[in-house]
Amino acid sequence: MLRNRVKELRARYGFTQSDLGKLTDVTRQTIAFIEKGEFSPSIALALKLAKALQTNVDELFWLEEDEKNEK
């Protein structure tokens, strides 16, 4: 499963879901789906999100299996 830090970084920069949606050309609902882990974004959207949140894609998204292996 794909995990992410979208909610954490969005809060850090003081963005609402709507703000981030506007920056990445998607609806607020799609940002909510991504944050909840219901939906895995495309590479293009992941890149847009990373750019909007001033980070790298691999800092923003990672696989749950990798997280377990690191522990």
Partner 1 sequence: MKNDFRMQYPLWMMGFIVVLGMFAYGVSSPVTNVVNTETEQSIMIEFEPVAGFFVVGTAALYIIMLVIFIFRLLRHNKKNPNQKVSPFSVRPLEYLEQDEGMTYITRKASQKVYTFMSWSLPMLAVFAMVTPLPRLFIVWGILLVALIQYVIYYLEIRKHFKEEIE
DSSP 38: S
Is residue 45 near partner 1 by the rule CB under 8 A? yes
Q: Cβ distance 60 to 53 under 8 Å? A: yes
Residue with tokens 């949606």: 21
Binding to partner 1 by CB under 8 A, coded x per residue (else -) over 5-24, reads -----------xxx------
Is 29 a residue that touches partner 1 (CB under 8 A)? yes
Q: Which is nearer to partner 1, 36 or 66 (CB)?
A: 36
56 binds partner 1 (CB under 8 A): no
Pairwise CA distance, residues 65 & 18, whole Å: 30
